Amino acid sequence: MRNPLKRHSSTEPKPTLRERAASLKATAGRVMSGAKPDPKAVPDVPDARAFAVEQAALIDLSALSIMQLGVLFERFDAASNAWSAELHLPYADEREAAFRINTAAGDVLEREQERVAEIRDRIAAEIARRQPTGPQDADTQLETLIRHELMCNGDLRDPAIRARIEVAWGSAPAHDATAENVEPSGNLHAIGREFDAAHEAWRRAVEANQEPSRRHLAYLEAAKARGGLSNADIRAAEALPGVSEASETEERAFEAAGELSLTILKLPARTLGDLAAQARAVIPHVWASGSYEEDGAPDADENIDKEAVRSLIESCCAAAAVDWRGSTGTHAPNHRARQIPPASNFLPSPDFEAMSMRTLDTLREHAVVLSLISHGLASQPRSKSDDGEHSNEAGTFAVQLAEALGFIVDGCVNEARRRRPDDVSDREIRIKTLALATLDNGDAAETRAFACDVLALLKA
């Protein structure tokens, strides 16, 4: 499988008929004249590919651990990307048309890039066939396979990858049947979903009871103003249309959500999803009037105890990529999204929020490729001072350009992370935008949150 940067070549204009005819004529001339290619010449792409496969097959990976293989995968992928960026530089590309034509140096580079990419793919295949011996191995294996699949195919539709994600991150592991007060069939994740439905039903009941409660209270206040409450007044207030029914509905809904929440809190949390379910289960016991959202408004005066609990709840839910309702479709209201990096003075800062998902991802891809090229230019000898110790003006320009493009990439990724599109196509593009940035970051919680987004998309 080829390097992802090279996949863009399929979008370049094809040679014109005149150019193809000239090439065929030159080839025919060599054949008719009996001229034979120089045996020392760099072979064409098919031979270079065969050379890459042959070289990769010589490497013995059997003695390496999954962790070591994961690191090597990253290193060989970085090397492949570096060679791909070099192929676009003038010394490797003698193009006069819109498509790339290798120089002799470019042929050498492309041959090496093929070899490194093939070794990277072999490493991925070796990681896939291994049996993890612990959670760290399992995470490294799955993260590498996700990254490789996205590199090669641009999506995660492969059933084997989807099954691995589902097993690793999609559901809670079976509970230990010998654990105290834990049923063997207990599934905190499933009970959490049941609680979310009961919690929503309770919130609807609270909202439906607001108007009857106001009428009930107004009647009692009026009775007080007339000279005091009597038992007859209290019975009359309870008999107002809809008052008793709404109150009883809210009480039953609260009891249902409360019982489920107590069950959840007794079960051991073993995944991020379990932890988020337990965090949500606390809400009815602290905000018994259903005012979680209202109390968290910017102008609300929430007491310090509730603030502390709220912070814990939202941190747990954010780590599992859900909000306080258990929904993956929106962010929690008070969850602080990552700040977009400050705009570089070197390049104008784009209006990321105004862009479509497709444009945002295209801008990210352009910025990544240009940044790689800029880094390549900055590392060349001609970009260094005479003593080779520092960058000259040209090298400084290339470095600043690469850094500015890095800000653009970060801005695109952060904007994609902030969004929660409903359209399936936009959701797929968002996953693609976040994928490599999330896995490159190496944060386990962030990777699992990303995996939850992937699972939600696959089930859509």
For residue range 396-453, list pLDDT tens digits in order.
Answer: 888 888 888 888 888 888 888 888 888 888 888 888 888 877 776 666 666 767 777 7
Residues 313, 414: one domain?
no
Domain co-membership, 302 together with 362:
no
**pLDDT, average across residues 144-167:** 75
pTM attached to this predicted model: 0.37
Shared domain for 9 and 124, answered yes or no, is yes
User: Are residues 113 and 83 in contact, defined by beta-carbon separation less than 8 angstroms?
Assistant: yes
CB 114 within 8 A of CB 48: yes
d(CA 138, CA 149) in angstroms, rounded, equals 16
Same-domain pairing of 8 and 138: yes
Would you call 298 exposed, middle or buried from its count of C-beta atoms within 10 A (0-12, 13-18, 19+)? exposed
Examine residue 262 and state whether it is found in any structural domain, yes or no.
Answer: yes
Residue 94, SS3 per DSSP? coil
Query: Do residue 119 and residue 44 come from a single domain?
Result: yes
Give a yes or no: residue 256 inside a domain: yes
Rounded to 5 degrees, φ, ψ at 56 are -65, -35
- Whether 75 is covered by a domain: the verdict is yes
Tell whether 180 is covered by a domain.
no
Q: Are residues 306 and 209 in the same domain?
A: yes
By C-alpha distance, which of 118, 145, 138 is closest to 54? 118
Query: Please, which pLDDT band fits residue 109 given cuts at 50, 70 and 90?
Result: confident
Task: Kindly state whether residues 214 and 122 are assigned to the same domain.
Answer: no
What angle, 0 to 180 degrees and rounded to 10, lies between the N-to-C axes of helices 135-153 and 424-441? 130
* Number of folded domains that form the chain: 3
Cα Rg of the chain, angstroms:
31
Which residues constitute the domain of residue 231? 188-319
Residues 137 and 247 in one domain: no
Most confident of 17-26, 142-151, 279-288, 353-362: 353-362
Residue 309 covered by a domain: yes
- 194 with 77, same domain? no
Q: Are residues 147 and 203 in the same domain?
A: no
Q: Let me know whether 121 and 240 are in one domain.
A: no
Tens of pLDDT along 6-28? 333 334 444 454 454 555 445 44
Residues 6+ apart with CB under 8 A from 230: 223
| pLDDT tens for each residue of 42-63 | 444 456 677 778 888 888 888 8
Highest mean pLDDT range out of 128-142, 144-158, 180-194, 304-318?
A: 128-142
Q: Are residues 21 and 121 in the same domain?
A: yes
Query: What confidence score (pLDDT) does residue 359 get?
Result: 92
Residue that is written with structure tokens 């976040």 in the block = 434
| Helices (H), ranges, 267-356 | 272-281, 283-286, 292-295, 304-319
Measured at the CA of 380, the angle between CA 375 and CA 381, to 5 degrees, comes to 150
